[in-house]
């Protein structure tokens, strides 16, 4: 799995670099975060959850059946708003809440 | 490299779920000073980085701990330490209540009782289980956490007295001196060629950053390991490698082949049989195989979207991106590459009931511990407290000092070498290919034979020799180098274990083509010890508990 960091949004706060369980995000010469070893990404999304400016998204690669849709998220306390933006521009939003247990 | 020395009563290697929980227990129940070393950030390190949505070890009303012991033992076809299983089963419910008190959300009915998923599982929202544990660790005044520090070797003079590692960010040499050490590094992934080797090698079930470090450091120091040949292969949603239990146990989805026939009953329902059935259906030309989810309600589908976002978000993205959710299309399933993971099978350190390994001063918990295919870590913490009431010295001999200097020189040698033959990544890919082709990987439907294993052993030894001159330019590469070293050592021991079990015990997990039947004489543990680079196999008796003893 692989995430994409939008460098024009990145503020260089290093949250993602710190939290990544694989130590695979680094800061470049312009003090912007970049994925140093893209093929090593597990897709856990710890980085997305830690980013204060929503600069990180995840796209499903074609070999996993991806159609070009992108996943982004915004966390507010125990609530997380997840958005899938499909390649045709349509969106689907789902809210999860860590205070609500899984039903399955 | 700057030389940093950290003294503590206890060193915990690995700040995943096991390491954090052990640290909290030691923090709250003893005055001991504790150092926790983790190669990443304990808020999201280890297997549960993305979350988890059920606790699959709980004793529901009407059941007893012994029921769980017998279930887990049967699932492992008898190769289980029932003494260890009983210890943990008696604590499941108390530890669950403790986690709820610390902030974990658990599904309850209107009367406040947990709602179960089957007789031994309860439903939770564990998306934040690691942040909760990390916060609880930080509350303890006697615990110091060292993050982005990668431990590679034990500090030992016959008794384990700490460990050595390097700072991934600060580039320092770390010497941890401790009176007792707990290995909580998880199991080993990345030994075999994965499902998506070209572009997405880390699209895998088990945490790809659990590289067998804890096993490796113990093996090199002469610790006894058990049951590596009982590999774990997960049955997962195809391609995304997302969990299937939520669909099978949670939504009641059955395993069906491409003809729509329910096949799971034909092969048996143990964990390895469920995997094996899918492999066999594919081989017999009846694949692809699916979990039958079509027909679930819109509400159920919405609920599944949320459940997967809380543990494996890629699956929800796939459902929405493709336009076909599980209510309209069955979910295709497939097996992963094999892993060594003590929390699902019995591979790992041979431990006693106090969770002491065979090395004096070294304990093991979580997926690193072996013998029983489920783990709880509270017992290890209590074992350490009892152990340290008797022993008190740090050890500061000449031998330990020269050992530290040699280890520091080894790291510096790698960092300062300006050119190398191959990169760690190239060596890792080669290792995965060898294991896949000759040691029962995906390519051969997980089946192996002795001639293949002999070839694998020779090739793995050859690859080990490529490590010394490998290309390293910074501490990120140094991390990759030690990770591949760990995997190669684990692979060698695994090959020896696969060779030693001259029977087929768990088709799917372990199928020896030279010995396709199960044999009574192999109703035992296969253990191993590495001495002077050679692996010696030892047999150990099973430990069963009668109903009257429980």
Q: Are the CB atoms for B240 and B315 separated by under 8 Å?
A: yes
B47-56, B236-245, B326-335: segment of lowest average pLDDT: B47-56
Report if residue B224 sits inside a domain. no
In chain B, whose CA is at the least distance from the CA of A90? B321
Q: Identify the pLDDT of residue B547.
A: 55
CA distance B254 to B243: 14
CATH of the domain at B324: 3.90.700.10
Nearest beta carbon to residue A46 from set B49, B148, B203:
B49
Write out the two tokens for A2: 């692989």
Q: Identify the pLDDT of residue B392.
A: 64
- pLDDT range class, residue A48, cuts 50, 70, 90: very high
Mean pLDDT of chain B: 94
Domain termination site, one of B126, B146, B172: B126
Taking an 8 Å cut-off on Cβ atoms, the answer to whether A104 and B117 are in contact is yes
- pLDDT range class, residue B313, cuts 50, 70, 90: very high
CATH of the domain at B483: 1.20.58.100
Beta bridge partners of B4: B174
Report if residue B167 sits inside a domain. no
Chain B contact set for A20 (CB, 8 A): 40-41, 44
Residue B396 backbone dihedrals phi, psi, to 5 degrees: -150, 40
Q: How many CB pairs under 8 A join A and B?
A: 171
Beta bridge partners of B146: B37
* Mutation site for B-interface testing, chosen from A57, A85, A104 by largest number of B Cβ within 10 Å: A104
Q: Is the model's pLDDT at B199 over the cut of 90?
A: no
Q: Is the model's pLDDT at B550 over the cut of 60?
A: no
Q: Is the model's pLDDT at B378 over the cut of 80?
A: no
Percentage of residues in chain B having pLDDT higher than 90: 85
Q: Identify the pLDDT of residue B149.
A: 98
Chain B contact set for A100 (CB, 8 A): 105, 125, 306
- Mean pLDDT of the region B474-482: 96
Residue B519 backbone dihedrals phi, psi, to 5 degrees: -125, 140
CA distance B76 to B70: 10
Write out the two tokens for B329: 């299309």
Q: Identify the pLDDT of residue B400.
A: 94
ipTM of the complex: 0.96
- pLDDT range class, residue B170, cuts 50, 70, 90: very high
Domain count, chain B: 3
Chain A contact set for B302 (CB, 8 A): 94
- pLDDT range class, residue B469, cuts 50, 70, 90: confident
Whether A93 and chain B come into contact, CB under 8 Å, resolves to no
Determine the structural domain holding residue B251 and report its residue range.
235-335
Q: Identify the pLDDT of residue B394.
A: 65
Q: Are the CB atoms for B394 and B361 separated by under 8 Å?
A: no
- Mean pLDDT of the region A82-89: 95
Q: Identify the pLDDT of residue A26.
A: 97
C-alpha distances out from residue B538 to A79, B496, B526, Å: 52, 11, 6
pLDDT in tens, B451-467: 999 999 999 999 999 99
Domain termination site, one of B335, B370, B392: B335
In chain A, whose CA is at the least distance from the CA of B307? A102
Q: Identify the pLDDT of residue B350.
A: 97
Higher pLDDT, B380 or B281: B281
- pLDDT range class, residue A104, cuts 50, 70, 90: confident
Mean pLDDT of chain A: 95
Q: Quick one: B392 exposed, middle or buried, by C-beta within 10 A (0-12, 13-18, 19+)?
A: exposed
Residues B330 and B424 in one domain: no
Q: Identify the pLDDT of residue B249.
A: 81
Report if residue B89 sits inside a domain. yes
Write out the two tokens for B366: 């979580």
Chain A contact set for B203 (CB, 8 A): 1, 42-43, 64
Report if residue B103 sits inside a domain. yes
Taking an 8 Å cut-off on Cβ atoms, the answer to whether A82 and B127 are in contact is no
Cβ within 8 Å of B, A 43-72: 43-46, 58, 60-61, 63-69, 71
pLDDT in tens, B321-376: 999 999 999 999 999 999 999 888 999 999 999 999 999 999 999 999 998 766 65
CATH code of the domain occupying A3-97: 3.30.70.20
- Mean pLDDT of the region B120-124: 90
- Mean pLDDT of the region B15-21: 95
Q: Is the model's pLDDT at B419 over the cut of 80?
A: no
Report if residue B212 sits inside a domain. no
Q: Identify the pLDDT of residue B2.
A: 98
Q: Identify the pLDDT of residue B116.
A: 87
Helix (H, G, I), strand (E, B) or coil at B482: helix
Question: Any idea where the domains of chain A sit in the sequence?
Answer: 3-97
Q: Is the model's pLDDT at B319 over the cut of 70?
A: yes
- pLDDT range class, residue A1, cuts 50, 70, 90: low
Neighbours of B394 (CB within 10 A): 13
Whether B46 and chain A come into contact, CB under 8 Å, resolves to yes
Q: Is the model's pLDDT at A28 over the cut of 80?
A: yes
Residue B146 backbone dihedrals phi, psi, to 5 degrees: -115, 105
């Amino acid at each position: 799995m692989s995430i994409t960091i939008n460098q024009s949004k990145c503020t260089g706060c290093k949250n993602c670099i710190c939290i990544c369980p694989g130590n695979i995000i680094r800061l470049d010469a312009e003090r912007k975060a970049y994925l140093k070893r893209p093929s090593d990404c597990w897709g856990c999304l710890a980085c997305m959850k830690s980013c204060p400016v929503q600069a990180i998204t995840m796209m499903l690669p074609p070999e996993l059946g991806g159609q070009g849709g992108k996943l982004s998220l915004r966390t507010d306390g125990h609530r997380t708003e997840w958005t899938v933006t499909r390649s045709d521009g349509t969106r689907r939003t789902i809210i999860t809440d860590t205070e609500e247990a899984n039903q399955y | 490299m700057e030389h940093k020395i950290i003294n503590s009563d206890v060193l915990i290697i690995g700040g995943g779920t096991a390491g954090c929980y052990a640290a909290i227990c030691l923090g709250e129940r003893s005055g001991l000073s504790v150092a926790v070393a983790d190669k990443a950030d304990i808020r999201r390190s280890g297997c549960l980085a993305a979350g988890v949505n059920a606790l699959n070890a709980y004793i529901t009303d009407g059941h007893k701990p012994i029921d769980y012991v017998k279930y887990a033992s049967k699932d492992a076809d008898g190769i289980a330490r029932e003494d260890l299983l009983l210890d943990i089963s008696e604590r499941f419910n108390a530890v669950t209540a403790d986690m709820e008190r610390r902030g974990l959300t658990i599904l309850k009915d209107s009367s406040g009782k947990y709602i179960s998923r089957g007789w031994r599982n309860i439903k939770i929202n564990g998306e934040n289980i690691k942040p909760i544990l990390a916060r609880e660790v930080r509350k303890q005044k006697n615990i110091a956490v060292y993050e982005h520090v990668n431990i590679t070797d034990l500090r030992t003079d016959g008794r384990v007295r700490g460990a050595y590692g390097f700072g991934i960010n600060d580039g320092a040499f770390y010497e941890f001196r401790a009176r007792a050490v707990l290995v909580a590094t998880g199991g080993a992934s990345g030994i075999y060629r994965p499902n998506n080797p070209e572009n997405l090698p880390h699209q895998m079930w088990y945490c790809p950053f659990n590289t067998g470090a804890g096993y490796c450091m113990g093996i090199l120091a002469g610790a006894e390991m058990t049951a590596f040949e009982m590999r774990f292969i997960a049955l997962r949603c195809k391609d995304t490698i997302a969990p299937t239990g939520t669909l099978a146990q949670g939504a009641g989805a059955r395993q069906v082949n491409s003809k729509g026939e329910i096949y799971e009953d034909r092969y048996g329902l143990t964990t390895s049989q469920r995997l094996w059935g899918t492999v066999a259906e594919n081989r017999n030309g009846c694949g692809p195989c699916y979990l039958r989810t079509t027909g679930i309600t819109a509400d159920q589908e919405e609920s599944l979207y949320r459940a997967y976002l809380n543990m494996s978000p890629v699956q929800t993205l796939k459902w929405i991106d493709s336009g076909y959710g599980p209510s309209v299309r069955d979910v295709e399933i497939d097996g992963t590459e094999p892993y060594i993971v003590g929390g699902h099978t019995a591979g790992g350190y041979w431990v006693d009931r106090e969770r002491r390994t065979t090395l004096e001063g070294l304990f093991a918990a979580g997926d690193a511990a072996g013998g029983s295919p489920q783990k709880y870590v509270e017992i290890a913490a209590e074992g350490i407290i009892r152990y340290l009431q008797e022993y008190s010295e740090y050890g500061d001999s000449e031998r330990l000092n020269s050992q530290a200097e040699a280890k520091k020189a080894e790291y510096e040698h790698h960092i300062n070498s300006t050119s190398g033959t191959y990169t760690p990544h190239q060596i890792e890919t080669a290792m995965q290919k060898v294991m896949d082709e000759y040691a029962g990987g995906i390519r051969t439907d997980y089946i192996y034979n002795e001639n293949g294993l002999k070839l694998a052993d020779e090739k793995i030894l050859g690859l080990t020799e490529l490590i010394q001159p490998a290309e390293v330019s910074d501490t990120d590469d140094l991390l990759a180098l030690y990770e591949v070293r760990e995997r190669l050592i684990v692979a060698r021991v695994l090959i020896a274990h696969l060779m030693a079990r001259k029977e087929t015990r768990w088709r799917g997990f372990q199928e020896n083509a030279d010995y396709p039947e199960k044999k009574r004489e192999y109703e035992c543990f296969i253990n191993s010890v590495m001495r002077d680079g050679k692996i010696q196999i030892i047999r150990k008796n099973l430990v069963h508990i009668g109903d009257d003893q429980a």
